[in-house]
Every structure is written in structure tokens, then in C-alpha cells.
Chain A
Amino acid sequence: MLDVSTLWHVPEPDSLVWRSFDSYSLLFNERSGNTHVLDPLSREILDLLQEAPRDETSLVRELTSLLEGQDPEALAGAVHEALKAFDTAGLIFPAYHS
């Protein structure tokens, strides 16, 4: 389980290479050599974390106000899953590691 109060950030954002196709984004991580396919919500989450470190609660709050009319519970679940996936892929780190 991820701690909702953990501050997450994207280390070395310059090492992320983006390409956009239709609604999906391709991301090549030069640090790991891995390629990822991101849906629009995941892309938005990673963009926000690139701007500044955020915790899960503040991400859900910002995305709820951005995506009006979305089911807040479903959105919170999607953010949680995205953070878990980013953490596993080494795309984000707790901010105290920086």
C-alpha cells in the first residue's frame, strides 16, 4: 500500500522523451531504457508531478477540479493505481529521495 501522504516527484524529467499519438502518449525513459504507453489521465498525473512534488490527496483534489463530473471515488482509485504503476516502473520517487 502506498502512503497517501507521500510526496512524489519525477527525478530527472529531462530523461523522459514524449511522443503523442491520438489520445495516448508514448514515454521513453532514458534512465531505465523502458517505453511506456500512457492514457490521458496517467499523462496528466505525471505532468503534474513533473511540475512539482505532490501527494496522492492533492493530486486527487486537483484532478477532481480539472475533470468536473467524474466520479470522485473512481478518480481516486485511478490515481492510486497510476502512482503504484509509476513507482514500480521507476518513473516517480518519494520526494525525500531527491
Chain B
Amino acid sequence: MQENRAQVTRDLNRGKLKFKVGPFVARIGTSYPLLQRDFLDIYGGYPLAGPDEFAHFNLKVDPVSLLRRWFKPKVIADGGFIASPFVPLPGDLSILALEMGLNWQVGTKSDQYLIYHSGVVARDTGPDEGQPSRAVLMAGESGAGKSTLTAGLAYSGWRLFSDEFALMDTDDLLLYPYPRPISLKNQSINVMVERLGEEVFSRPFLNTIKGTIRYLKVPAESLRQGHRPAQLDLVVFPNYVEGSPGHIEEFVGAEAFAMLRGASVNSDRLGRPAFDAISELVGRCRFYGLQYGSLDMAIKMVEDLMEETR
């Protein structure tokens, strides 16, 4: 996308930009120049889709009116819903409208997958695509630190699958990558900027409902391998507690089932296939609650646990 910036901008203006993200093709449109710049900044490395490829999602983000294009700009996402679930946002935060719009579409229109609200990273066991990669899924409450841990692992030799949604095929129980920029908030931003430098971050978005947000770009290797699935081996529920010396608690049986099912976005809609899939995962994967006091501690916990589950 980066090498065709002029064409990409034209396609955005016409609402015809199609790009690939994991197993999906998204068609995006916006005539708002600031959003076009922010979009290219964090999605510049994504592959474009051909004009005839089926678009799974359609999303436009534009000013709410001509007046609000120029005066105290306000934008709103339009995903083609009759009753739009989206609210207008200040023009400066238009990339958030786009991100929320895409998230909404995945969460509500992708029932070919069992979806968990979670981060996922995977480690390739070899260069051969026939060898399954091994994945760890990180679920938990918002603010528990799963995005920070996902980001830390994604830049420590693991392949980023997603910071937001784990996509699982209920037939083979494989996870499919859906690598999108990682939304980091407040103190997490400083932690990661210190580790990775400024270059891999978007500009800061101030005064959002969750404070300050910066998007961490997806590592190039994770985009290159964006088609390669992984087998889920480890499920963790991270919880950052300042000053914690670290604590690991294992969950088994019905408790593990309830926790993983609680992380699922669409198990109610999927019904029996979701029940069967989660039951099988409980028998096959290991589940842990991780309390951690620093990112390095959490990364080591995950790496050690993954090693033990071999």
C-alpha cells in the first residue's frame, strides 16, 4: 500500500480501497484528509486486494456534515447498518472511528469463526508451512494488560495474530491471524516506546474516552505470514499489578471452560460448534492466570509456560 500512496488516497476518496487483513478483505472509504494520512501511517504495510475480490467488510468514515468538515470537525463511521451503532467523534480522532467500525464488523459479521476477545501471538516451529505454529491466547478484562503483553510478545520473536480478536475455525480448531495495529493506552505507551522507539508508533490520540491512545504498527513478518494458522496450546489471563513479584494460577475443567467461553464474542450465536470446540480445548490446552509486575516478567512467564506445555 505504501508504494502507491497516491492511488490509495484516490481509492479512499472514492470509497473503493480494498486491503487484506488476515482472512478478510475490507473496503474502506474516507474523504477526510487527516484520516487518510493516519490510515496510511498505520496500515501502509498491508497488502492491497484486487478490485474484483469479495469484500467482507464495507466501511466509510466521513464528516457528519459539510459544516462539520471544516468547523470543529466531527466524523462518523458508516458500516451500512440501518440503525448505526456508531457515535460521532472529533475529526482528530477519526482513526478511532475507523478502528471501532472495523472491530464492530468483525465482532458481528464473522460467524464463520468462533471469535474470542483476546490477544493472540504464535511461535513458528519451523519454516515449513506444513508445521503448525503454536499459539498463546491472552484474554481478560479491559485494562488487565493483555494488549501490553501482546505487544511485548509481538516484538520479542512471536508472530502477532491479533490484539483484539482471536479467530478460530471450529472444524480444525486452528487460529487464523488477524493482525491489526495494537491500540496501547496511557502508561502502556511509555513502556512500549521505551522498548521499541517512536518509529513503530502512530501519533498520539489525546482525550479519547480511554485517555491517550497510540497505535503500535504490526511487525512486517507478522503481515508477511498473515495467512499462516496456528494451533492453540496455551490460554492465559494476564493481570498487571504494580510491584507484584509474579503469581501463576492454573485453571482446569469447568472453570477453564467458563473463562474461555466468557472471552468468546459469538459462542451464543454459534451454539453447539462453539460448545464442542471450547470443551475440546479445555481437554487439550493449559489455562493459567498470570499476575505480573513488569512486562519482562510476563514475557518470561508465557515463554516458560509454553515450553512446559510441549
Contacts and interface: CB of A to CB of B under 8 A. Distances in A.
Given A19-B279, A22-B253, A30 B271 contact: yes
Contacts of B43: none
A17 B252 contact: no
Contacts of A19: 257, 275, 279
Contacts of B254: 21-22, 24-26, 37
Range, interface on chain B: 10 to 19
A33 interface: yes
A67 to B, nearest CB: 21
B258 interface: yes
Nearest to A19: B279
Interface in B215-270: 252-254, 256-258, 261, 267-268
Chain B contact residues, majority secondary structure: helix
B258 A37 contact: yes
B253 A21 contact: yes
A21 B272 contact: no
Contacts of B256: 21
B261 A21 contact: no
A28 interface: yes
B302 interface: no
A35 interface: yes
A28 B267 CA distance: 12
Given A19-B279, A21-B252, A21-B282, A26 B271 contact: no
Interface of A: 17, 19, 21-22, 24-26, 28, 30, 33, 35, 37
22 contacts: A17-B276, A19-B257, A19-B275, A19-B279, A21-B253, A21-B254, A21-B256, A21-B282, A22-B252, A25-B254, A26-B254, A28-B271, A28-B272, A28-B275, A30-B271, A30-B272, A33-B268, A33-B271, A35-B267, A37-B254, A37-B257, A37-B258
